[in-house]
Amino acid sequence: MSSTISLVFSNSKYISLSIVIFSSMLVGLLILSEYIFLEPYVVSHIPSGTEFGLVLIVMISVLSALVLPMNIFRINILKKSKQKMGGGIFGSIIGAAAGACSCGPIGFAVISTFGSVGATATAFLTNYEIPIRIIAIGILAITYFTTVKSLKIECNLKIA
């Protein structure tokens, strides 16, 4: 598996894409989860008891930064061939979106416009934020392993 990662990330384009994905997802999720505050000035705060949520956000960001460039590499390889492409990219998009289920001030503002349905959605997301993020990490892990398998088998790469 490490040879597959080294093959994909031997191109600086995929390394820079991975860095952009990681940093944007990490900062975005930290702002939405209220670990970073932007007003009146930039402040970071980790409340007691929320360390596990922070670790899950970092894991989602790392896995997304690993999986998405690998899937883009896979798409570029399979674009040249006539083989059928599986749903690897869709799994990474679903996993990344599921990780952003936080109910920060933006989430409350958007969801509250839907009335009682919004209140129900807010309560659901607040109560099940950690399990949803764990499921997102599972989806991203499965996507990683299927992408590695696809790069080895479908793309006929000779990886030692």
Q: Which residue has the higher pLDDT, 105 or 117?
A: 117
Domain ranges in the chain are 2-153
Span 120-144, average pLDDT: 80
CA distance 64 to 93: 9
Span 58-70, average pLDDT: 90
Span 121-144, average pLDDT: 80
Q: Among residues of the chain, what percentage have pLDDT more than 70? A: 66
- Each as own residue / partner, the long-range contacts of residues 37-42 (CB below 8 Å, 24 or more positions apart, any chain) are none
Q: Categorize the per-residue pLDDT at 75 as very low, low, confident or very high, splitting at 50, 70 and 90.
A: confident
131: nearest Cα among 32, 56, 49: 56
